[in-house]
Structure 1
Amino acid sequence: MKPLFAVLALSMLSSSASSALPEKQAKLLTAQLQAIVSDPAMPLPSLSVVAIRNGDIVYSQQLGSKRLATGTSPAQPADANTMFRIASISKFVTTLGTMKMVEQGLLSLDADISDVLGYRLRNPHFPDHPITLRMLLTHTSSLRDEGGFKWDPAVNLREVLVPGGRFYGKGGFWSKAAPPGQYFEYVNFNSGIIATIMERASGERFDRLMRRLVFDPMDMKAGFYLADFAPADINDIATLYRKREKDGDETWNPNGPWIAQSDDFGVALPVSPVGLDNYAVGTNGTIYGPQGSLRISANELAKVMLMLMNEGRYGTKQILKPATIAAMMARQWTLTGDGKNGNGDSDSYYGLYRAWGLGSQHFIDASTVKNGRASGDRLVEGGGFKGVGHLGWSWGLNALFVFDPQAKNGMIYVASGVGANPDLQPGQFSSEARFQERITDALYRGAIAVP
């Protein structure tokens, strides 16, 4: 596959020819990434990457296939337009829309969210503690995912969250350990409530609101609702894979077939959720997957990264004010290590989550070894890169969006599947799997930390 040394054809995303990696360095980096993709210990169906240095895109590359070959159709190569269901990086992008509404005065970070929802929302174990948007964005809301985090359009979240509701069950959504605002636990459900709040404050469906606030102003091909995409765009979406024993079997088998886990649109086109036509805006923002269902390419994510590096400016447009960007990126929570504000192991995926901003992880370059296993958020071997961003894992997809706002260096990668259980191939200097470490280390050394 011929490497792309810079993204020169995409509107508003181009780098000057002088900022691209020299051809020899680009070829070497491409070869290193291809070796990772083709590694029989952890093969990847496809890998899409972007590296930014000093505020310029210096390298962009796509390897592998967005759809693997079947008995009736050949493999389809990944390209610059290939979009992925980006998993939890969706939360980071959702936060851009949230902060735009804060900037406009439609939402407040520190007001009781009950005021927007229209009903009193409290953790029943701590009824005197209001829950705020800031708590939701920093995973300190005292909510949990144990009861689920996505419901059909007919379900009003009030009946999920408030005792006595039809879907409240045993109240497994609420923590008994600590009141809101004190304790970090990574929770998907927070994003669904944020989307509901955004709908209530705007009167618009979440997917359309995000298009109006973020995607259209930045000329982005991206979206939370696939039925809005044209057929040509659907064809750009990568299928996500794992190697399993067989279809429907969750057993890992590195020698087994690739089994589609999500977005297998070569087989069946997406359909609208049942009951969407009767959905009452502002009752259940989970249906659009604000926590993990955004479809977007690595190159479109690079537009977001450059906008944030440039204090909210995208070309001639001010998408977010500099003060809004500063507030979003400011540190909100740091693990104390004494168990009082978060558990570094069980609640932070082997110590991966050490610090947090508003809807964004702070990668503080921590690395330790505990019980023979590496732990921490370090991104490159030996350290040296700190940044802000988000990780994404689900359905076999593994992805990273991270940048240093001061140096204006950044890395994006998206892998559309894994061929073995990542937990059995732990990293050497972080909580990540070894193949993830190899990708970030190659991008950093090959495209950012170069003469």
Structure 2
Amino acid sequence: MKPEMQALMGMILMAGLGGGAQSATLDQELAAVATDPALPLSSLSVLAVRGGKVVYQYQTGPRRLGEAPLPATAETMYRVASVSKMMTTFGLMKLVEQGKLALDADAGLYLGYPLRNPAFPDQPITLRMLLTHTSSLRDGAGYSWPASVAIKDKLSGAEAGMWAPEAAPGAYFTYSNLNWGVIGTIMEKVSGERFDRLMRRLLLGPMQLRGGYNPSEFSAAELADVATLYRKRAVDSEEWNPAGPWIAQVDDYGVRPPVAPPGIASYVIGSNGTLFSPTGGLRISASDLGKVMLMLIHDGRHQEQQILQPKTIKLMFSRQWTYSGGNGDTYRGLYHSWGLGSQRFDDAAGGGNRLVEGGGFSASGHLGDAYGLISTFVVDLDSGNGMISLIGGTGADPERHPGRYSAMTRSEERILTALYRRAILGQ
């Protein structure tokens, strides 16, 4: 973005917050969160939408360390972890709109082989079950394999940890990354396209979104804008040192460029959708996620294009599963209600999934957490208000610093509450 455009955007954003002083106050609050010596963050990129318009953006910290650290900017792309699942679902729902997939059909019909829990061999598993984490698939045997592995061989066996032996398909919610590996495989099978390129054709390209699920095909400019994810612990260690150095976890492209997945030249499309991580491998900026949020708020439209149909968006974010006391694992109260590839945050006091201190903000979207990255995409489609937060690295063990009113980390709570009060409520 040219300097004059950056200045103009800054004036627009500050005007949306009611003046430069209020924007500066929010800047200071977020900077204080990022530099908290007890809970340091390597970088932070946030965006707030109010009434269907972007009113605030802010970045702090380096996207890449080194002799000459590079600052995080509005163009900085992060590996957004499980927010990728929601984005993958948008691509899937495009295929549903095109009549290539049906949510309640037996998913094995698309794969070309039975998809069955060995403990419940007569019960079909559907896309709706995969999208709502009620398929009975589990992550205990892994959820990502190289190009040489056929996911069929993993799913068709009785490998320990692959399937829930006690929960029939459709009966019980347990968050499982493997669901999206199966979804990505199905998307490849019905389209005949490799997942990373299919997502570019269905969603990223039409919306002019930078990044994607395969950094080895990024342009030099895109690679320069990918943030390295950090922790203050070694990659394979559980020992944290908040006063120590930041240690790169993934996407350290300033040191070594990305390489294509091994064996990709001979990869059989539709044999293993985990290859490009539909579950967590998307690299994208907060600014571009803001475009996605505005598209959802504006009934699926982006710059005169109809990306998704309004009824598709309504269905995706509608209540598909609700915790009733014994029908799911809520993960410390975080999961109470689920749509299709999206979480619903009901704002219940003491429920674990309240987004802001004191309540007042019910929303839908997705969270992500991997390699030090903590991501949040939450939107209230009725009011047109939403928040995006991308933390590029955590310096202290998040498990030892839980939130005060939710199952999120304390840093997440502070960021979202500041954004909500200042940028959305205008306090």
Give the TM-score taking structure 1 as reference length.
0.91
Deviation at 1:256, TM superposition (A): 2.1
Alignment RMSD, CA only? 2.0
Q: Partner of 2:29 in structure 1?
A: 32
Q: Deviations over 1:51-86 (max 9, x none)?
A: 000001100011111012x3xx21110001100000
Q: Greater CA deviation, 33-42 or 14-23?
A: 14-23
Is 1:377 matched up with 2:377?
no
Q: Partner of 2:336 in structure 1?
A: 354
* Aligned positions of 1:73-92 closer than 5 A: 73-92=67-86
Change (3 A) 1:75 1:18: closer
Q: Partner of 2:182 in structure 1?
A: 193
Using the alignment, how far apart are the partners of 1:355 and 1:5 within structure 2? 41
Q: Partner of 1:371 in structure 2?
A: none
Q: Partner of 1:117 in structure 2?
A: 111
Q: Greater CA deviation, 79-88 or 226-235?
A: 226-235
Change (3 A) 1:103 1:27: same
Write the letter of the residue equivalent to 1:235.
A
Q: Partner of 2:249 in structure 1?
A: 261
Deviation at 1:6, TM superposition (A): 8.6
Q: Partner of 2:272 in structure 1?
A: 284
Using the alignment, how far apart are the partners of 2:146 and 2:398 within structure 1? 31
* Aligned positions of 1:205-220 closer than 5 A: 205-220=194-209
Q: Secondary structure at the match of 2:354?
A: coil
Using the alignment, how far apart are the partners of 1:7 and 1:419 within structure 2? 32
Whether the 8 Å contact between 1:364 and 1:387 is mirrored in structure 2 is: yes
Using the alignment, how far apart are the partners of 1:26 and 1:376 within structure 2? 29
Write the letter of the residue equivalent to 1:34.
A
Whether the 8 Å contact between 1:65 and 1:76 is mirrored in structure 2 is: yes
Write the letter of the residue equivalent to 1:59.
Y
Q: Deviations over 1:377-421 (max 9, x none)?
A: 011111100000000100000110000000000000001000101
Q: Deviations over 1:198-219 (max 9, x none)?
A: 0000000011110000011101
* Aligned positions of 1:41-440 closer than 5 A: 41-68=38-65, 70=66, 73-163=67-157, 170-244=159-233, 246=234, 248-337=236-325, 339=326, 341-343=327-329, 348-368=330-350, 376-440=352-416
Using the alignment, how far apart are the partners of 1:218 and 1:17 within structure 2? 26
Deviation at 1:272, TM superposition (A): 0.8
Using the alignment, how far apart are the partners of 2:106 and 2:286 within structure 1? 36
Deviation at 1:264, TM superposition (A): 0.6
Q: Secondary structure at the match of 1:285?
A: coil
Using the alignment, how far apart are the partners of 1:30 and 1:255 within structure 2? 24
How many residues are matched?
425
Change (3 A) 1:16 1:239: closer
Q: Secondary structure at the match of 1:292?
A: coil
Percentage of identical aligned residues:
53
Q: Secondary structure at the match of 1:200?
A: helix
Unaligned residue ranges in structure 1 (runs of 5+): 369-374
Q: Deviations over 1:287-335 (max 9, x none)?
A: 0010001000000000000000011000100001111111111110011
Whether the 8 Å contact between 2:343 and 2:365 is mirrored in structure 1 is: yes
Whether the 8 Å contact between 1:400 and 1:412 is mirrored in structure 2 is: yes
Change (3 A) 1:328 1:127: same
Q: Deviations over 1:32-65 (max 9, x none)?
A: 0000011001111110000000001100011111
Give the TM-score taking structure 2 as reference length.
0.96
Using the alignment, how far apart are the partners of 1:84 and 1:198 within structure 2? 24
Using the alignment, how far apart are the partners of 1:361 and 1:441 within structure 2? 19
